[in-house]
Amino acid sequence: MSPELTSKLQNRVVRAAEALLDDNGFVNFLDVLCGMQLLSPNALKAWQLGRIDSLETEIQVGQEKLQRVLVLLNDWAKAKGLEPGEAHYVRSSRAGTVELRVTVAGDPAQEKIWRTQYVSPKLTEAKRESWPPRTRRS
């Protein structure tokens, strides 16, 4: 990827991540993709409701660019001093709680990457005790 394209992509990642951090006190990969308009909020909602088996097929960008977004987000989070944690994406069903799968293959190592959330160290003690914030449930 050319330096110019990398710079534009980095600006998009940072804008989306900064907005999420300001609003929520934490940032995750899925919300950044939505903020960058690379993942439809409708697809995210359908996934949360169990209508889509995995989100990977709904992302509107190629694997190379997607990996670059991930690296840029991780670098940004480290530079900001954010603390990583893991989100647990689940939904309720008649059979009980079902873990939502982000990737098609469901590889645990890949799933963990997708589930990384970064929390601000500026959050109040009460909010920090309830980490990870906003575990997704539908």
What pLDDT is stored for residue 133 in this prediction? 44
In a domain, 137, yes or no: no
What pLDDT is stored for residue 95 in this prediction? 87
Q: Is the pLDDT of residue 43 over 60?
A: yes
Task: Enter the tokens of residue 79.
Answer: 């530079």
In a domain, 134, yes or no: no
In a domain, 107, yes or no: yes
Q: Is the pLDDT of residue 123 over 90?
A: no
Domain that holds residue 63: 3-129
What pLDDT is stored for residue 135 in this prediction? 42
Pairing assessment for the beta strands 96-99 and 26-28 based on DSSP bridges: unpaired
The stretch 38-64 carries a mean pLDDT of 93
In a domain, 82, yes or no: yes
Contact 111, 22 (CB under 8 A): no
45-71 burial string, b = 16+ CB within 10 Å, else e?
eebbeeebebbbebbebeeeebebbbe
Structural domain count of the chain: 1
Least confident of 18-22, 27-31, 125-129: 125-129
Q: Is the pLDDT of residue 129 over 90?
A: no
